[in-house]
Amino acid sequence: MTAVATAHLIDPHGGVLVDRTGERPEGVESLERLSLTSREVSDLDMLACGALSPLEGFMGPADYERVLEEMRLLDGLPWALPVCLAVGGAPKGDRVALADEAGAVLAVLDVEEVFGYDKEREAERCFRTTDAEHPGVARLYQQHPLYLAGRVTVFERVEPLFPELAMDPAETRAEFARRGWRRVVGFQTRNPIHRAHEYLTKGALETVDGLLIHPLVGDTKADDVPAATRVECYRVLLENYYPADRVVISAFPAAMRYAGPREAIWHAICRKNYGCSHFIVGRDHAGVGTYYGTYDAQLVFDEFEGHELDIEPMFFEHAFWCRVCGQMATPKTCPHGGDDHVFLSGTKVRELLAAGELPPVEFSRPEVAAVLIEAYLQT
Ligand SMILES: [Zn+2]
């Protein structure tokens, strides 16, 4: 696949697609072994395949500081969130083995530095709150007290949750090239796709060559719809309502941080590495609760010059079915009032599904609703 020329696609962030996969080095068994959290394992796998290009390992203090203060790496390249490995103490040797929570050794890390960090400061900078009720902050507060920096070499890739949807950046790039796409819009989601988001993705697709539906399948909050159910929703939606030759669906292996604006930038940079020239940013992207303003995740893009990110953000309003317009619309395109719009709260939708009732077709495709009802009935 990689033989296909991909030169006409957007460059990876920093110019080169990183590959930190490699042979298992000699003597791994005798190395000190660190156990990674599932979030850190997600990061490790993304480092391995270049999804986090130009990073080649877990961040050192200079990059970390500048990311916190200025949303840039030490060399000035935009970067919005720390990618760090928390440890309880300094390792003894200059190389350590990295294992998942089950004890499987996945990689080695060549130790560059161990440094302390201020959890409250990181929370304030990255999440705009120090509230331990925020899921990202809560996870941060539970971490070990030091960060271990160094380049990684990954010799055992994580078993993908959805093997049929697993595509590394080199693979999505090759697939886009094979299809002759140049302009590709990426869509991040951690929810089932209802009519509103179908409308956004199709609106975006109208202006480019192809659409990458890139659902996040790493860790999410316990009350988010489970990834397996979502994947089934995407499958029936794509099968029935999207042209196969214009859409690629693949899983985004990241864990959610719920960092709102900063995560929107981070998500966009990662999708650039996957070959997307455009990226959809809706209202309250990567938000949780009421921690972020509705448009914060769109406004944050103004903190960079367009050429710095290269990938083009596409900002969207909340969409709905308007009975008067007789079509999907947003406040940007529909002059009618709320009474004319089909709006269902998340709670209302859950009530309908739990009762085995289909939400109106103006809200959700019946095939998608059927999958969700099935999932509700099983829990
Ligand atoms: Zn209208």
List the pLDDT tens digit at each of the 379 positions of the chain: 445 677 799 999 999 999 999 999 999 999 999 999 999 999 999 999 999 999 999 999 999 999 999 999 999 999 999 999 999 999 999 999 999 999 999 999 999 999 999 999 999 999 999 999 999 999 999 999 999 999 999 999 998 989 999 999 999 999 999 999 999 999 999 899 999 999 999 999 999 999 999 999 877 777 788 889 999 999 999 999 999 999 999 999 999 999 999 999 999 999 999 999 999 999 888 989 899 999 999 999 999 998 999 999 999 999 999 999 999 999 999 999 999 999 888 888 888 988 999 999 999 999 999 999 999 888 7
Q: Using the mean position of ligand 1's atoms as its centre, give its distance from the Cα of residue 68 in Å.
A: 43
Give, to the nearest 10 degrees, the angle between helix 227-241 and helix 366-378.
160
Contact 77, 13 (CB under 8 A): yes
Q: Using the mean position of ligand 1's atoms as its centre, give its distance from the Cα of residue 327 in Å.
A: 8
Give residue 224's pLDDT.
Answer: 80
User: Active-site residue numbers?
Assistant: 190-191
343: tokens are: 């709006």
Whether residue 78 has a cis bond before it, omega within 30° of 0: no
Give residue 345's pLDDT.
Answer: 84
Exposed, middle or buried, 223 (CB in 10 Å: 0-12/13-18/19+)?
exposed
What is the rounded CA–CA span in Å between residue 74 and residue 64? 8
Q: Using the mean position of ligand 1's atoms as its centre, give its distance from the Cα of residue 331 in Å.
A: 8
Q: Using the mean position of ligand 1's atoms as its centre, give its distance from the Cα of residue 333 in Å.
A: 8
